[in-house]
Structure 1
């Protein structure tokens, strides 16, 4: 005779009785979400409300004061902003240039330094502490410090160049040298962050693939290119994602070194600096909100592209 099987029921929890209400059983089954719900709602409100308010202002002609009467103008601000070739699109170009160049140097230098710190050596602890020192200072303090170092008249940078026979350079004061100089400052401060992320990824790797490649006669470069880099690539994508989004939003270093408008000729005026000037210098809240919404969409698009690239690297 065929064995008769009876459906099994999930064991009842000790806290549940036959008289336990249905809502109590449901709450017990979903308690992890219920406990996290207040914090999730609070964080969502902090994000959704400012974004919704900014989106609303971008559809009005608000200016002078946020309490002043404003009229709904629809997408007129977006048309005006996207057709602005004097300030908006140059700011987009500077934002892209600042982000891409700074990120390129930070990832390359960060990988090189992380590889040097990967293997233990004497004094490694102190070297790591010294490398991470730039992260201790705030970006505004770093910007003011480098502003004094790069001062054309009394700055240490030109004095050092004079010792080796090179004439003084404008650095932050130059129309064409200001943006590369601010990129250098950003690289100096934030490369240690990339080092920290990549070093964590390298230390989690197994030694077996390296030993196998070494036994097969692979050189140091071949082991890095064909073994280490593919294995650590997901961590590299994480570093690019975190640092890239942060570089896109850079404001404090630029404002501390060049002030309003990113300089007299707007030489370091990125989208953040441009939107800040529209809001607090000219009180054009409708236009500035439009710039911020467009900027937000650029950031979301960049996040999506980098996240997609990370998923491909993990396959």
Structure 2
């Protein structure tokens, strides 16, 4: 615990210190203490910071919604044994094998406007080519799709573990009372699964908030020429390694850290509430 605490405290303390200085060019260069000026500048930046916040919230919220819904559907599919279940599980879990950067590069080729397979498939059914990652309005939804494709299996695994731990007695009692499959899911399975669902939302939500590799692999610096997929992580990375503005980027990261801590606290409180019911 002491080792883990040191690994957390030292980088966090250093980042907080940099956020209160005008450090730029190099972290070893001389810098002056400027208090909360970086935070004021960041919070008043309506051109890059707040749009990045909105993209981060949209990316996380929409991707997480689809991942939980699809993950629950997959978990319910795999809950009861059926013929060929082993092969279905292998196929569903395959996206987790690859690294996010490799996944991003693969889908970047698939969605290429000129040679990509996606537009070729659309052409077979009479639909014209789409810009996908190249379009300002389609880039963010496309990266959401990539994230959903890769991480839905992880959510499904968590929910499947929760389903297999449930007792069969409530299901049998509801079935004897004449409840349909949907009624059993709505009034029996889902309430019993809520603590596990919240755990899945907590784990995947925090990870989705921090998504960087897929976005950078597909769109590069700044989240694209028009910052169309620039989230807070991509924005902070650009400030640090493209513009060497370490003080400002540290302030962005501390604000981002506080947002994540707040969401963790809210979801953990909700999980305790559900567990105590």
Deviates more, 1:304-313 or 1:247-256: 304-313
Mapped partners of 1:124, 1:159: distance in 2: 32
1:160 Cα deviation after fit: 0.2
Specify every segment of 5 or more residues in structure 2 that has no aligned partner in the other structure, as ranges: none
1:125 Cα deviation after fit: 1.0
1:120 to 76, 81, 95: 81
Query: With structure 1 as the length reference, what TM-score do the two structures score?
Result: 0.87
1:87 aligns with 2:51: no
1:136 aligns with 2:97: yes
1:67 Cα deviation after fit: 0.7
Between Structure 1 and Structure 2, whose CA radius of gyration is higher? 1
Q: Which has the higher contact order (CA 8 A, sep 6+)?
A: 2
- Secondary structure in 2 aligned to 1:57? helix
1:217 aligns with 2:181: no
Mapped partners of 1:301, 1:91: distance in 2: 18
- In structure 2, the residue matched to 1:151 is 112
- In structure 2, the residue matched to 1:105 is 66
Q: Which runs of 4+ in 1 moved over 4 A?
A: none
Aligned residues: 276
The one-character-per-residue Cα deviations of 1:57-81 (angstroms, maximum 9, x if unpaired) are 0000000001110000000000000
Mapped partners of 2:97, 2:216: distance in 1: 19
The one-character-per-residue Cα deviations of 1:200-220 (angstroms, maximum 9, x if unpaired) are 000000111000000001111
2:9 to 20, 38, 48: 48
The one-character-per-residue Cα deviations of 1:143-189 (angstroms, maximum 9, x if unpaired) are 00000000000000000000000000000000000000000000000
Calculate the aligned-residue CA RMSD, in Å.
0.4
- In structure 2, the residue matched to 1:309 is 270
Specify every segment of 5 or more residues in structure 1 that has no aligned partner in the other structure, as ranges: 1-39
Matches of residues 3-14 of structure 1 in structure 2 within 5 Å? none
1:227 aligns with 2:188: yes
- In structure 2, the residue matched to 1:73 is 34
The one-character-per-residue Cα deviations of 1:232-290 (angstroms, maximum 9, x if unpaired) are 11000000000000000000000000000000000000000000000000000000000
Mapped partners of 1:164, 1:274: distance in 2: 39
Query: With structure 2 as the length reference, what TM-score do the two structures score?
Result: 0.99
Mapped partners of 1:304, 1:100: distance in 2: 17
- In structure 1, the residue matched to 2:204 is 243
